[in-house]
Structure 1
Amino acid sequence: MGAPQQAGSAFGERLRDWRVRRRFSQLELSLAAEVSARHLSFLETGRSRPSRDMVLALADALDVPLRERNVLLTSAGFAAGFPQRPLEAPELTAVRVAVDTVLRGHLPNPALAVDGRWDLIAANGAVPLLLEGVDQELLGPPTNVYRVSLHPDGLAGRIVNFDEVAHHLLSRLRREVQISGDDGLADLLAEVERYPSVRSLPRHLDVPADVVIPLRLRHPEGELAFFTTITTFGTPVDVTVAELAIETFFPLDERTDTRLGELMPSD
């Protein structure tokens, strides 16, 4: 009789954490998940155990990431519901082909694929142009985009508008920590916030007049200026695919476009 109560309590604690993280009251969550507020209260305190469908309904209402939905399921005594296959798995062949197609097709512009903790998974032949001068220890494996971008021995000294870019990256990482509840991302945030290049940032910056915050990078062949887009996979049911993202770099000006064509001719 003790094990079910422990499982219920573990689930209830995690459920409450996610409800608070999403800033839902018990009433708001009960309405969103179509469950009585009383039953929801019992679930959080461990007085009631949820069904598998109830766990998934609550996770859906709270927009819990797939990785953490598995944690909710196992904490309630159920098997994980969402597989986490390695990208090399046969079942993910179509995903690998899609990633490779996007990366190759974006040449001569840089493009890269990262996992949920911003570790580099794949990159096209133009990405090394961005990484010239980066300390080899930062290039891993794994190569983490945030470490490379914000570390003093990484790109921090080469980014012309470092204050703007760093503020944007830190804001994005803090938001992802809050949204995902991922301890690995929280550890990464704590690490980069200790970097001297980050600690010396001004606390507030004026909003730039640009349409997007550019990345202006010093390069031996002259300054390169980019804006970036991030693409994710729609309707994933695999943790690896859900956390996979492709970041593509586009020239911000004609000079950068010309330089990239000279430095990295397309196939």
Structure 2
Amino acid sequence: MTTTEPAVGQLLREWRERRRLSQLELSSQAAISTRHLSFVETGRSRPTPEMLMKITEHLDVPLRERNQILLAGGYAPRYPQHGLDEPELANVRAALRAVLTGHEPHPAVLINRWWELLEANDAITFLMTDVDPALLEPPVNVLRLSLHPDGLAPRIANLGQWRAHLLGQVRRRAVQTGDAKLAALHEELVAYPGGTGPALAPTDVVLPLRLRHEGGELSFFSIAATVETAADVTVDELVIESFFPADAGTAERLRELVGG
């Protein structure tokens, strides 16, 4: 059997619909005629690479998919993709490592678009007790590690709340990107037990991750950071998720664990 790759017009239409924009809205934003955009989507007109770059920028298409659209249009990809260990990304990797290390004694991880673990600081090891070693075999998926019954799930005191939060993140990103791998990950995670938890109280300002740990409970909230000026596919998909103590007891306990 052979498969036919989607035409460039079809891909553009799918991304436009994914962003819930009409042809009129997109053509107005991208400063092209609605008639021309319609012809491009139906295959009656071949877009230039410059037009594809303009449209995909207005549609906020990730760099990986922009390259795919350019290829579908018969053009060479515009965005390189280097491995994180390659010399071209040495400065970026050094900066990311500095962020991870500088965040200690609090945990922080570097992940890609599929939540696969690329690097972590030393503080994260203190949270991995009683985890099935099979879940720590590369590539480690931090969501699977969190929600799997043999992972952190039995130790998460508010598993229902945290599970709903993570599932919502994966579902939204799968819809936003049309990524089949993310959709499959969402289906896998939904099948894990855990239920749903109570809604946040009106006085809550963040959703905490409440993790049972020897000697007490640790409570965290997280902040995610990306490289906003990325022009490389790999860099565009990198995310640092930093965990901060949600209470004074957690902050003190982390200083004892990491400091010791």
- Partner residue in 1 for 2:63: 66
Confirm or deny that 1:260 pairs with 2:260: no
CA contact 2:200–2:207 (8 Å) conserved in 1:
no
**TM-score, length-scaled by structure 2:** 0.94
Q: What letter is aligned with 2:30? A: A
Q: Secondary structure at the match of 2:216?
A: coil
The runs of 4+ residues in structure 1 deviating greater than 4 Å are none
Structure 1 residue corresponding to 2:196, chosen from 172, 194, 201: 201
Question: Hey, what does 1:242 align to over in structure 2?
Answer: 236
Q: CA deviation at 1:122?
A: 0.4
1:212 aligned residue: 206
Matched, 1:129 2:122: no
How far residue 196 of structure 1 moved from its aligned partner, in angstroms, is: 2.6
Q: CA deviation at 1:225?
A: 0.8
C-alpha distance in 1, partners of 2:209/2:199? 17
| Alignment correspondent of 2:155 | 158
Counterpart for residue 120 of structure 1: 117
Corresponding residue to 2:139 among 138, 142, 146 = 142
Offset of 1:181 from its aligned partner? 2.1
CA deviations on 1:32-56 (whole Å, 9 max, x unpaired) are 1111111111111111110000111
- What amino acid sits opposite 1:225 in the alignment? S
Alignment check: 8 A CA contact 2:153 2:159 kept: yes
Amino-acid identity (%): 51
After TM superposition, the structure 1 stretch with the greater mean CA deviation from structure 2, 65-74 or 168-177, is 168-177
Partner amino acid, structure 1, of 2:171: R
Partner SS, residue 225 of structure 2: strand
| Alpha-carbon offset, residue 257 of structure 1 | 1.2
* Aligned amino acid, residue 196 of structure 2: L
| In 1, Cα distance between equivalents of 2:259 and 2:177 | 39
CA distance in 2, matches of 1:103, 1:235: 19
Give structure 2 stretches of 5+ with no counterpart. Answer: none
Q: Secondary structure of 1:142's match?
A: coil
Q: 1:2-17 alignment to 2 at 5 Å?
A: 10-17=7-14
| 1:179 paired residue number | 176
- Aligned-pair CA distance for 1:180: 2.0
Cα shift readout 1:169-225 (whole Å, capped 9, x = no counterpart): 11111111122222221111111112233xx336xx423331100011001121111
Residue correspondences, number: 256
Residue 82 of structure 1 corresponds to 79
Query: Could you list the per-position Cα deviations for residues 96-152 of structure 1 after superposition, in whole angstroms to 9, with x for gaps in the alignment?
Result: 111111111111111110011110000111101112111111112111111011111
Residue of 26, 35, 41 corresponding to 2:32: 35
